[in-house]
Amino acid sequence: MKKKLVYFPKSGGANAYPLRMQKILASFSDVEGLNLKATMQEILKFNFSKKDVLVLNWIESDIIGKTGRVSLTGISKILLKIFIFKLKFKKIIFVRHNIYPHKANKENSNKATKLVDKLEGLFDHKVVHSPVYTKDGYEYIPHPLYTYPLVIDNKNLVECDNNKFIIFGRILEYKKFEVIIESFPAEQELLIVGHCEDYGYLDKIKALIREKKNITIFPSYLDDKEAKELINSTGGLIISHADEDMIVSGSFFYGLTIGVKMYAVSTPFLKWAEEQFGNDIIETFPDVVSLCKRIERRPIREHISNGTISDINSSFSDEAIASSFSRLCQK
């Protein structure tokens, strides 16, 4: 009989990760998205029957309030949720995506990290998607590819513009777009594409590009087909933010899925990826200035070998992810 597995969040808006994970987990369990309101109503009706497993993502986000500071109200809400989860689930698996929430300002980052460390002690298992995350007590489970198995059509290289580069993803202040806007070479074209809800920050970076004819900002949502076509038409995907809070990069896995060359500011995980799969997949740099100097030398996007594609599929296979989660559910 399959285990009953509940997943939070049920969807991630433009982030396809939750839906991909639920599809993988459904290979060995009956999966449903968490309905917090319905779960609370069950408790109020004194229904304390427990489902088998809850998989939690990003539960720690409420630690930080709108000002970037630790929020006592947010912490209280999280503790209440965890109390409810303990009443309704036999086992809780926490997937840690960030060392501390993106919204935390620098002055509150250490405090936020310690709070997340404390909170995760309330869960049965802790998972990270990075094989080079050094803290003890975590289970490494690969991050899913957004399409599996990975198949790359190298014919797209014929149509790509090697003088055009793209940053793709939600436009958020913590990504510090102003840094790359200042350093990007004038001879190359940069597209910054992604949904933005912070209009104040959007106005700030738009003001920075007024005199720069080679940089364009498209603050809008693209569906998957449009995004893939646009990214594939460029010479490479740029990952220009490498904050201390990052464990892995969702942009990296999106780039892998498309088969586009990536240029990134180095993090432990992205450096590992470069060493593991080679610089026809990703090149990393110590900072944005070094990255931009590489772009200035007009790199040519190259074919990705079948051997590399096979290595990627082996490292991030649906089967490996399902097997690892299944084993945790049985522990």
Per DSSP, which regions of the chain are E strands?
Answer: 3-8, 29-33, 51-57, 89-95, 125-128, 139-140, 161-168, 189-193, 215-218, 234-239, 262-265, 282-285
Which neighbouring-strand residues pair with 161? 234
Structural domains in the chain, CATH included, are: 3-144+317-330 (3.40.50), 154-314 (3.40.50.2000)
Residue 233: the pLDDT is 93
pLDDT in 10s for each residue of the chain, 331 residues? 789 999 999 987 778 899 999 999 999 999 999 999 999 999 999 999 999 999 999 999 999 998 999 999 999 999 999 999 999 999 999 999 999 998 899 899 999 999 999 999 999 999 999 999 988 999 999 999 999 999 987 665 657 899 999 999 989 988 999 999 999 999 999 999 999 999 999 999 999 999 999 999 999 989 889 999 999 999 999 999 887 889 999 999 999 988 999 999 999 999 999 999 999 999 999 999 999 999 999 998 888 899 999 999 999 999 999 999 999 999 8
CB 317 within 8 A of CB 309: no
Q: CA 179 to CA 290: how far, in whole Å?
A: 12
pTM of the model: 0.92
For residue 271, give the nearest of 280, 261, 282 by alpha carbon. 282
Q: Write down the residue that tokens 């808006």 correspond to.
A: 13
The Cα–Cα gap between 290 and 170 comes to 24
| Cβ atoms 164, 239 nearer than 8 A | no
pLDDT at 149: 95
**Tally of CB atoms within 10 A around 326:** 15
Q: For tokens 């599809």, name the residue.
A: 23
